[in-house]
Amino acid sequence: MKKSNTILTILLFVFFTAGAFFTVGSGNEAWGQGCTIDIVKLIQGNNESFEFTLDDGKPFQIFLSDGDVFSYSWGPNTDLTITEVLPVGWRLDDVVCFNDGVGITDIDSIGIIASCEDLNGGHTECIFVNVDPSAIPTLSEWGMIAAAAGLGLVGMFFAIRRKRAQAV
């Protein structure tokens, strides 16, 4: 047990003195090269965890829930493909990106391709918005009362009209 704590302490010391503060990326960030993306997850409907696949030549998966943010860095002259594995019944409603040195190309309803265009380091933040189509809004109780009152007024109008037509 004591030996594992010593090894862990040495590893932590090496990481912190080398300047690698546990960031995920290609390693080019230390020289000011490459780009960074922040992926923000927004979900309209039931809260669920969504699987993303990131691929800049080394594919891997992450899982994000509502409000989660994930930062990733990749090298210059490299494209980063970000796709979302959608659970049954869900759809990707929109991807909104705020770019600075990163080109964004939409992939039909499943994700984006981010191109690192600024060799000195670009940054973008992309918000992935998902909608649960089964969460169709219905009339509230007040809406139902208003609909009933409207139908009552229409019925009353036709009743008065019919009575006047019979009187003539």
Q: pLDDT by residue (tens digit) across 148-161?
A: 888 988 888 888 88
Whether 79 and 113 have beta carbons less than 8 Å apart is answered as yes
b/e code 92-106 from CB counts within 10 Å (16+ = b): beebebebebbbbee
Which is it for strands 69-74 and 102-107: parallel, antiparallel or unpaired? unpaired
Residue 44: alpha-carbon gap to chain centroid: 10
Cα torsion angle, 106, 59, 101, 119, sign: negative
pLDDT given for residue 30 in this prediction: 42
Whether 118 and 100 have beta carbons less than 8 Å apart is answered as yes
Is the predicted pLDDT of residue 39 greater than 90, yes or no? Answer: yes
Whole-angstrom distance, CA of residue 52 vs CA of residue 126? 13
Task: Decide which of 141 and 52 is more confident.
Answer: 52
Whether 29 and 35 have beta carbons less than 8 Å apart is answered as no
Give 31's contacts (C-beta < 8 A, 6+ positions apart). Answer: none
Q: Which two tokens stand for residue 107?
A: 């992939």
Q: Show me where the domains of the chain are located.
A: 2-131
pLDDT given for residue 70 in this prediction: 94
CB atoms near residue 84 (< 10 Å): 23
CB atoms near residue 90 (< 10 Å): 19
pLDDT given for residue 141 in this prediction: 65
Mean pLDDT within 133-150: 71
Task: Decide which of 161 and 54 is more confident.
Answer: 54
In CATH, what is the architecture of 2-131? Answer: Sandwich (2.60)
pLDDT in tens, 66-112: 889 999 998 887 899 999 988 888 888 889 999 888 999 999 888 99
Mean pLDDT within 3-31: 39
